[in-house]
Structure 1
Amino acid sequence: MPVSTWAIAEPRKLTFDEPVTALSVRIVNGTVNVVGSDEPTARLEVSAIEGPPLIVTQHDGVLTVTYEDLAWQNMLKWLDRKGWPRHAVISLTVPADSAVEVGVVGAGAFVSGVRGRTDVRGVAGDTTLVGLAGPVGAETVSGNMEAQAVTGALRFHSISGDLTVVEGAGAFVKAETVSGNMTLDLNPAGKPTDVRLSTIAGELAIRLPHPADAKVEANTASGTVSNGFEDLRVSGQWGAKKITGTLGSGTGTLRATTVSGSIALLRRPPAEDDPRDAEPTGKVL
Structure 2
Amino acid sequence: MNLRATRVFSIAALVVFTSVPALSETFSCKEPSSGDRVNRVAGGRDAIPADFPWQVAVRASGRFCGGSLIGRKFILTAAHCVDGLADAKGVLPPSAAVQVSLSNPHGQPAGETSEVKYVLVHNQWAGGASGSPHDIAILVLWSGFDVTDQAIINIPPPAIDPLYASPGTCAVVTGWGAMRVDGPLPERLQVASVPVRTLEECVQAYPAEDIGPNHLCAGYTGGGVDSCQGDSGGPLVVEGGPRGRLQVGVVSWGYGCAEPGRYGVYTRVSSYKKWIEETAARYKDF
Q: How high is the TM-score relative to the length of structure 2?
A: 0.21
Could you say which structure has the higher helix fraction?
Answer: 2
Tell which has more relative contact order, 1 or 2 (C-alpha 8 A, sep 6+): 2
More strand by share: 1
TM-score by length of 1: 0.22
